[in-house]
Amino acid sequence: MSFLDLVEAVRQRPVEEQIELQEILRHDLIDLRREEIYQNHLEGIALWEQGKLTPSSDVDEIMRRLEEE
């Protein structure tokens, strides 16, 4: 089933089911984002423990580091 077929199938469902699907997807996306944040946290801890991450309150330095990536 293509993405367009899926969208059309959803559009043909009753409004109540569309709303329920929307809520399911919203919660799933929140959970996925939460997992992504957690994985970034673990990566940060590992980098910190390896001495590859140093704290900084200098915004210009932080922006420069982000541009280097």
Instruction: Write the pLDDT tens digit of every residue in 6-52.
Output: 999 999 999 999 999 999 999 999 999 999 999 999 999 999 999 98
Alpha-carbon gap, residue 38 to 43, rounded angstroms:
9
Token pair 């704290």 in the structure block, residue: 55
- What residue spans define the domains of the chain? 3-68
**Residue 51 zone, left/alpha/beta (φ > 0; ψ -120 to 50; rest):** left
Q: Which residues have CB under 8 Å from 47's CB, separation 6+?
A: 53
Alpha-carbon gap, residue 55 to 25, rounded angstroms:
36
Task: Work out the angle between the directed axes of helices 15-49 and 3-11 (0-180°, nearest 10).
Answer: 130
The mean pLDDT of 41-66, rounded to a whole number, is 89
